[in-house]
A and B are shown apart, each in its own frame.
Chain A
């Protein structure tokens, strides 16, 4: 009995990422895109017509990561103009900063938007409540992964709680289905002040594929201040970790 456990332990070894600030994802990963305008923009026009969430625009030439589902199809249609890098640092305090232009060299975090109480109170420990409102379980699984043996975000005091009463903020995933609009609101109101709002995943940022659906209710986003926007389909654990470390003042992009 004990030998089988030793075997598992020996194979397991050390799994944690020693430095969360020093992570490079595989080249295949589709993160921050780089846009290069050319004289002939016909490829981009074709890509924009195909773009499933109208995230890509030709004039002006922009790609809105808050809408983008990172399918990478535009980069295949317009390889001269659009290229996805493996840069996972996609979060921002500003929704507008998620719109990538040809001038974008990194996604600006805009630390000036951070309310002063956030780094003051939450830099050592931040407990979050997660609400899935129409999410497809992939973003939720990635959020779970932030606490797993590899990423171990808990080492920075960032953890998810079982009750809104014990939390400092809410992480919303999914386009916000109508049937979840009220439970989300109740949960948010139950969190003591000051509290932060993080929207996680492109579906949560813009509604994604469901932005026009009748079964979706985005009023929560319109009525409340969002502190951190995190794109992705799903948001990679490193995107979440980077965003939260920036907003709590643990690092500066």
Chain B
């Protein structure tokens, strides 16, 4: 089958007319074969109305050849035909098909899990509301259901969880999301103010503000054919790694708290504070909001800041390693973390898991290796860390190892920054190529982030699509708790730490 082929180091967008238009039958056949192999996975698959037609876009990633493959197909908007469902063969496709079905009432034949994805305000399919979500239920005298949410017991975002339990053991968990839906994608299109769009990208998921705003900046820079300097790329990579460190440490603290390991909890809380305060001392915001801007930066590193960051990450790295050593030498902690919440590699592949959680199961999904961007493609020779057990411990060890890797990368990159080299100010006025398609693919701390921007004939963004890694990994959490005691749910949940707002948009 015919794809438009590009890669993640390309600085150009793709003219819509250059994306081959194929038949669904051919695409279906091609994908049913390709998705069997770990080499391929879908970065995004969505539809949008184009005149009287509904145009479907597919972005397929080839991890081995480091290629990004784009294709599209159309159906008449009012065609009443059912497309054979890919989810039936490859559950990994489920969030995409569910979104398309919800938004445009497209019928996917033989689709196994026809449920709304996020109760989007624009959905055409209104057979259910968020209050009447069709939870799966199992009948049986020995079974009971536990309903949690949408508001949770801690200070976290809302989502409705329903556990079907046999005694203390979880038989099935279903997660209904959409409570956080606030119309992010529509707001991108509703404005021409590039700064407003940048701030929108920063608020897709606050814990990944740097990763999402980097993806936005990459998409916009491609649309304006803007080549960013090596220095800017390095600074963005430092910011990404700082974000990764901060969140991995925060999650280590959260896991410690949930097993009553107070020492680890308070140590990690303090270390996270140092890390995010480092980001704050760089850019004025603890989450890195204001740091990533299209085509330039308002906060180029100075030699004082370089020294401050180097000193702080070194200190955090050293102290965090002590916590991680303590975890590994505490049998009471290991007995909670090991062999708990297992998602085997084959399952992870089947459901399309990405990022850190996939790597903990041995599935090497890491855009930094497979589709390198920014400094990962030039200054760093990134080697993905993987674990094999796919349990809570594996996901925790991923964090411990990635933090020390991040410390090294940050130090390495800081050393390359030449502060005499000028960094341009951000540009919010750049004209975008009309009728073009551009992507931003970034490996955030949680995993693969994919943004897609499509412009109309006037060069305005008229479709903006966002994919958060959580979109795939929520199902991994549901599978992880199967067969576990319900009291282990909190540590399984924290070991993934998925985003509600990034999923609901």
Residues of A bordering B, CB below 8 Å: 1, 4-5, 7-9, 11-12, 15, 25-26, 28-30, 50, 52-53, 69-73, 76, 84, 130-145, 148-150, 160, 162-163, 174-175, 177-180, 182-183, 187, 203, 208-210, 212-216, 233-234, 236
Contact = CB atoms under 8 A, between A and B. Distances in A.
Interface in B148-198: 150-151, 153-158, 178-183, 186-187, 190, 193, 195-196
Given A52-B196, A136-B205, A177-B180, 17 more contacts: A7-B326, A11-B318, A12-B270, A15-B269, A25-B280, A26-B277, A71-B195, A84-B284, A132-B158, A138-B209, A139-B206, A140-B155, A149-B270, A177-B179, A177-B504, A209-B200, A215-B182
Given A136-B501, A179-B179, A141 B207 contact: yes
11 contacts: A8-B263, A12-B263, A15-B269, A69-B199, A134-B180, A138-B289, A162-B153, A177-B504, A209-B200, A213-B186, A236-B286
Nearest to B191: A52
A110 B267 CA distance: 39
Nearest to B281: A26
B273 A174 contact: no
A221 to B, nearest CB: 15
B263 A137 contact: no
A30 B158 contact: no
Given A28-B283, A137-B501, A149-B270, A183 B153 contact: no
B269 A148 contact: yes
Given A72-B298, A149-B266, A210-B183, A7 B285 contact: no
Nearest to B190: A212
Given A1-B330, A209-B196, A215-B182, A137 B158 contact: no
Contacts of A11: 267, 318-319, 322
Nearest to B209: A138
B187 A210 contact: yes
B380 interface: no
Interface string B242-277: 000000001000000000000110110110010001
Given A12-B319, A180-B150, A4 B325 contact: yes
Contacts of A71: 195, 199, 289-290
B131 A182 contact: yes
B329 interface: yes
Nearest to A236: B286
A187 B149 CA distance: 11
B280 A26 contact: yes
A179 B181 contact: yes
A209 B203 contact: yes
Nearest to A11: B319
A23 to B, nearest CB: 12
A52 B151 contact: no
B103 to A, nearest CB: 13
Given A28-B284, A177-B181, A180-B158, A149 B269 contact: yes
B158 A183 contact: yes
B195 A52 contact: yes
Interface string B267-307: 10110010001001111111101100000001000000000
A213 B504 CA distance: 14
Nearest to B120: A215
Contacts of A145: 269, 273
Contact of B273 (A69, A150, A179): A150
B428 A50 contact: yes
A187 to B, nearest CB: 6
B289 A233 contact: yes
Contacts of A144: 154-155
Contacts of B264: 8
B279 to A, nearest CB: 10
B274 to A, nearest CB: 9
A9 B265 CA distance: 12
A5 B298 CA distance: 42
Task: List the 9 closest A-B pairs by CB distance, nearest first.
Answer: A138-B206, A162-B153, A52-B196, A215-B183, A136-B206, A215-B121, A213-B183, A4-B326, A28-B284
Nearest to A176: B182
B205 A5 contact: no
B119 interface: yes
B395 to A, nearest CB: 19
A12 B158 CA distance: 33
B267 A8 contact: yes
Given A30-B285, A209-B187, A214 B206 contact: no
B484 to A, nearest CB: 22
Contacts of B190: 212
A162 B269 CA distance: 21
Nearest to B497: A137
B320 to A, nearest CB: 10
B323 interface: yes
A48 B486 CA distance: 52
B130 interface: yes
A174 B207 contact: no
B204 interface: yes
